[in-house]
Amino acid sequence: MIESLITYRGEVLPQWTDYNGHLRDAFYLLIFSYATDGFMDLIGLDTAGREASGHSLFTLECHLNFLHEAKQGEAFEVRTQLLGHDHKRLHLYHSLHRADAGTELAANEQMLLHVAVAGPKSTPFGEGTAQCLATVAQRQKDMAPPRWAGRVIALP
Amino acid sequence: MIESLITYRGEVLPQWTDYNGHLRDAFYLLIFSYATDGFMDLIGLDTAGREASGHSLFTLECHLNFLHEAKQGEAFEVRTQLLGHDHKRLHLYHSLHRADAGTELAANEQMLLHVAVAGPKSTPFGEGTAQCLATVAQRQKDMAPPRWAGRVIALP
């Protein structure tokens, strides 16, 4: 069995909820954005690494599926799968789960670009980051393709 | 020429920016979420309409393309195109533009479901909403298909 890579844990904050007391759509993405920060910490792009290298990630594109409502105060975790990468792009998949029962609340696919912030312009991953990505890819190589990746939005 | 339907105007707030002073990915979606609220106001699903009917919209799925950075204080507008609808689903396309030059900063495709909040369960649009949607669809019927709709995320 492959252990899940947990990149963010928290609980639904009052300022993230709508008039019904439910997590508003944009704040699902904020949670996934924090999970990407968590993943960056694992590949040498934490605050110190970004400041030393002048490199960071820019979100090019993302796709979200909202599966269940989340209420104020609910504890959650985000599990992350590296779907692919080349020399400067990262294809990530995050899923948001209730911390207790594990119910999947939402899914998010992201394409990220490695950039030199000073440009800003795209630039290849540094050697350390490239090695970290290879390690994650190797560990996750037998994981099943995720349920909500590769989708097109259309009326049924 | 078809006039753009502007559903939200504002400027980039300090609490929406990241460590670089740029609009963070999740807050692009918050802006688009407010634009959906603006669209709801036009189709009888404003606060008063929601309270009277017990109906609302639930976001099922969305796709975002981030095209340019937006800085704190930048003024913007969101233009909205109704791509399609059936008796209980709404397929919307929003694009975010600089208020001055009109530069497109981001695009967002959304699929929304009409729900009776008490269930919650999906339910057909009320007659007033259905009529409003038909009117918008008629006005926009000659608009070109938008640039960033119908995409799948994949490495090149």
Tell the burial category of B52 from Cβ atoms under 10 Å away from its Cβ (0-12, 13-18, 19+): exposed
Contact B153 A154 (CB under 8 A): no
Contact B150 A151 (CB under 8 A): no
User: Mean pLDDT throughout B103-123?
Assistant: 96
CA distance B73 to B75: 6
Question: Any chain B CB within 8 A of the CB of A52?
Answer: no
Q: How many helices (H) and strands (E) does chain A have?
A: 3, 6
SS3 label, residue B46: coil
Q: Is the dihedral of CA B73, B28, A12, A56 positive or negative?
A: negative
Contact B26 A30 (CB under 8 A): yes
Contact B109 A25 (CB under 8 A): no
Q: Where are the domains of chain A?
A: 5-136
- What kind of fold does domain B5-139 have according to CATH? Thiol Ester Dehydrase; Chain A (3.10.129)
Report the largest interatomic distance among the alpha carbons of chain B, rounded to a whole angstrom: 49
Cβ-based contacts under 8 A for chains A and B: 104
Q: What is the 3-state secondary structure (H, E, C) of A92-154?
A: EEEEEEECCCCCEEEEEEEEEEEEECCCCEECCCCHHHHHHHHHHHHHCCCCCCCCCCCCCCC
Contact A26 B24 (CB under 8 A): no
Question: Any chain A CB within 8 A of the CB of B60?
Answer: yes
A118 to chain B: which residues are within 8 Å by CB? none
Report if pTM > 0.90.
yes
B86 to chain A: which residues are within 8 Å by CB? 155-156
Picking from A17, A67, A153, A155 by the largest number of B CB atoms within 10 A of its own CB, the best residue to mutate is A153
ipTM over 0.90? The verdict is yes
**Whose CA is closest to A133, among A82, A61, A65?**
A82
Residue of A nearest to B62 (CA): A64
**Residue A87, pLDDT score:** 97
Q: What is the CATH number of domain A5-136?
A: 3.10.129.10
Q: How does pLDDT run along chain A (156 residues), one tens digit per residue? A: 466 799 999 999 999 998 878 999 999 999 999 999 999 999 999 999 999 999 999 999 999 999 999 999 999 999 999 999 999 999 999 999 999 989 999 999 999 999 999 988 999 999 999 999 999 999 999 999 999 999 999 998
**Residue A3, pLDDT score:** 67
SS3 label, residue B8: strand
SS3 label, residue B153: coil
Q: Which residues contact A92 (CB under 8 A, 6 or more apart)?
A: A36, A39, A80, A81, A82, A83, A109, A110, A112
Task: Check if the beta carbon of residue B31 is closer than 8 Å to that of residue B78.
Answer: yes
**Residue B2, pLDDT score:** 62
> Model confidence over B28-82: pLDDT tens digits?
999 999 999 999 999 999 999 999 999 999 999 999 999 999 999 999 999 999 9
A33 to chain B: which residues are within 8 Å by CB? 24-26
CA angle, residues B137, B139, B140, in degrees to nearest 5: 65
Q: Both tokens of residue A124?
A: 């290849």
